[in-house]
Amino acid sequence: MHIAKKFDLLLDTYRRPDGRSWTGQEIDEATGGIVTRSYITNLRKGRIENPGYEKLRAIAKAMNFPPALWFEDRADSLTKMRIESAKRPYNIAERTNQLFDIVQNAKAGRPYSNPEIVRMSLGELTEENLQEIRSGQLTNLSVNQLLALADAFGVHPDYFLDTEAKPTLLNGSALQILQDETVRAIAHRSLQLTERERQIILGIVRQFEHTHELGNDHFRSGNQLEN
């Protein structure tokens, strides 16, 4: 879903206490000028396709919705019960460095290096970007940068956005899947597709699975006849 449409849904779902939808001027004032009225106008008109993380977080805080909703694919998730935000105990730099400490490069048997994560980001991050993120100099990541960083380590974007508790990593099998370069590339590129297009790809994968199952059944039947 385009960021402008997502913002319109958020504006319609998370209204002011009096029931009115937020105006650009009100968001400007509520964010202390971090997100200006003109920025809101450009965001709603689709002129800003890849907004910065700090802008998204400031809007979420002002309108009182979980920042993770910016990354939800399904529109119906925006109508769920509001979740009250607590103080976030870890910033992006600390969470990123935590991933470097925890997540292992299975092939090398050691933690990932900066160049490896940059390569797995598929062009969304540079080594300079990553070093600035880890040192806390870069906190205003774009949506694509945040998704690429999460994909490279095999964690959900919520890892960087959850405000209530120390987030958990994906399970071991999921990490193994995302450590495959081809699978990771397919997953990352699919983020840009519509839900229908992703369903088409999933259907193709299932057809391959079915073909392999038939092949395995035929192989097993042949062995039984020989025995």
Concatenate the DSSP letters of all residues of 166-181 into one string.
Answer: ---PPPHHHHHHHTSH
Structure tokens at 198: 């992703």
Q: Where are the domains of the chain?
A: 3-79, 92-189, 194-227
What's the rounded Cα separation, in Å, for the pair 208 and 140? 41
Are 184 and 178 spatial neighbours (Cβ–Cβ below 8 Å)? yes
Q: What is the pLDDT of residues 19-49, one digit of tens each?
A: 889 999 999 999 999 999 999 999 999 898 8
Options 3.30.360.10, 3.20.20.30, 2.30.130.10, 1.10.260.40; which CATH number does 3-79 get? 1.10.260.40
What SS3 class is residue 10?
helix
Q: Give 50-82 pLDDT, tens digit per residue.
A: 888 889 999 999 998 888 778 765 434 443 333
Supply the pTM of this predicted model.
0.42
pLDDT at 9: 81
CATH class of 92-189: mainly alpha
> Do 92-189 and 3-79 fall under one CATH topology?
yes
